[in-house]
Structure 1
């Protein structure tokens, strides 16, 4: 019996993936204009980082007047990678513009939200390469805001879902780079990890679906979901002692489909020879990246407060 190329393999609210390799993006968010955000007092602008790849970022500068009494101190620089399964979303969508603006205001950071290339047009590892290039660009203060207001001796990486996965992979890549920027802290918000063997508490059907999405985004994945970029605990993956940051905060939701993997990752980091300090926050009763669309709920405020405390050093 002939296989129909237009058969849908994966369907969700945001996209459809067909057996032929085609993908439909069902939700194309509007582009939020850069500028002053009255709700937070944060000003944003867009910068092209690499003309050859089209890599760009949206920078978020909090209201300096609000911290006038301490205006001589420069701001920590936080590099943010948005989620979306490597396939969808944008640093300039309403969802991520709003979240990163709120984060910059609450934590008092100069945020660099990276507009990395998406699969399938640009298969993974394009996203990882863009994340790496953005880090080096920010660390070199190659922008007037970063040079004037940013403290590049205090670099933070943050990301949600696929973006949290990207944070991990950048931290591992730093171990083989000399010289390498110093990362004070890493914030993994509901990071997307996987594996061919289920971990305790992982739901089989969802794990299978996420493996298919990963293999679609990364056609050259070695071993499917046991590719070290997706499964940091897989045989042959770089040891977690190679993580290059001083502190880490790993967050998940109690009802998050990624929670079991996130707990396993946090436990593995703690059991490794890594010399940094790791903290865990699990938000009760909520699902995957709930804080993006329910940013005003109590659990989202609790999560934001914990991120602010982490950046401040507590």
Structure 2
């Protein structure tokens, strides 16, 4: 939101996403409106505080509320280039409601802090802290301190991590971190879902356009510069380029299942396909799948979830989570 005393003095504009005022306030242009959690006919949701700076919205199928049935659990991270959107926005809420309704899973949609107020790597640190908190809910001692919906309905033997776009980038990076550092109570990530993952690199691959100087960089590259100024390695930081020389081996992922979703017209398609091929060629022992939708663009299933292609994708996501 914009501070009421900014007097219109603009410090910086990062269009089309946002404007920064000299008083430090930020005006975001592409955020969808905040919506509250709801107790719906098919899906119920509520908000929880994980720490003073991190929160989340938990979703369960409504019919579970009076039972102790256990379902797969998905830690979900929203997209938005690390600088817009929210776990509590209309688009995110509508999308997760649809996913939970069809897949019959428990979802924890994480609200991490955004740039420019909190430049990267803050979003990664918030998301890692949230993942550890979710895993801690599997411990059976101190039950009075647990979140009841997770205690009663989350099957941690079927624990998934996933996201869309920047959220898929987060999901990849914290899954890699979990491989090396471990999670509370020795919880293991069973599956990883990367939908239209936001990966880049200093050199174009496949059909990606090249560029000769800073002015030729497209919005995807400008966004990384904006949200992580002076990132170690730049566009070849392991955080944005999982194929860089300094990136951990993909073969080390401890999950058993991996789904990468791409769209034909998405500028990020080539990176997602390369990720799939790299996993296949590595020594990773799990099952990896690529799901491509023809004729669609980036995160189409969130923006137009009533389309036939979106309905097909929801069925594919539901099948993977179950």
State the TM-score, normalizing by the size of structure 2. 0.86
SS of the residue corresponding to residue 147 of structure 1 reads: helix
* Aligned counterparts of 1:127 and 1:157: Cα–Cα separation in 2: 15
Corresponding position: 1:274 with 2:284: yes
- State whether residues 237 and 246 of structure 2, in contact with CA within 8 Å, keep that contact through their aligned partners in structure 1: no
Sort the Cα spacing of 1:178 and 1:28 in 2 relative to 1 into closer, same or farther, 3 A.
closer
Q: In 2 relative to 1, CA 279–207 (structure 1 residues): closer, same or farther, beyond 3 Å?
A: farther
Partner of 1:46: 47
Give 1:311 shift: 1.1
Q: Residue 207 of structure 1: CA displacement?
A: 5.5
Structure 1 position 16, deviation (Å): 5.3
1:134 is aligned to 130
Normalized against structure 1, the TM-score is what? 0.88
C-alpha distance in 1 between matches for 2:25 and 2:254: 37
Distance 1:42 1:204, change over 3 A: same
Question: Which ranges in structure 1 are unaligned for 5 or more consecutive residues?
Answer: none
Please give the alpha-carbon distance, in whole angstroms, between the structure 2 residues aligned to 1:84 and 1:28: 9
User: Which string of whole-angstrom CA distances, capped at 9 and with x for unpartnered residues, describes residues 108-128 of structure 1?
Assistant: 111100001101111111111
Aligned-residue CA RMSD in angstroms?
Answer: 2.3
- Which of 30, 33, 40 is matched with 1:30 structurally? 33
Q: CA deviation at 1:264?
A: 1.0
Instruction: Check conservation: 1:156, 1:186, Cα contact below 8 A.
Output: yes
Distance change >3 Å, CA 298–CA 57, structure 1 → 2 = same
Consecutive unaligned residues of structure 2, counting only runs of 5 or more, are: 1-9, 138-145
1:7, CA displacement in angstroms?
7.2
User: Which residue, out of 166, 173, 196, partners 2:202?
Assistant: 196
2:169 corresponds to which residue? 165
**1:60 and 2:25 aligned:** no
Q: How far apart are residue 29 of structure 1 and its match?
A: 2.8
Identify the range of structure 1 (29-38 vs 251-260) with the bigger mean alpha-carbon deviation. 29-38
The alpha-carbon deviation at position 209 of structure 1 amounts to 2.9
Secondary structure of the residue aligned to 2:190 is strand
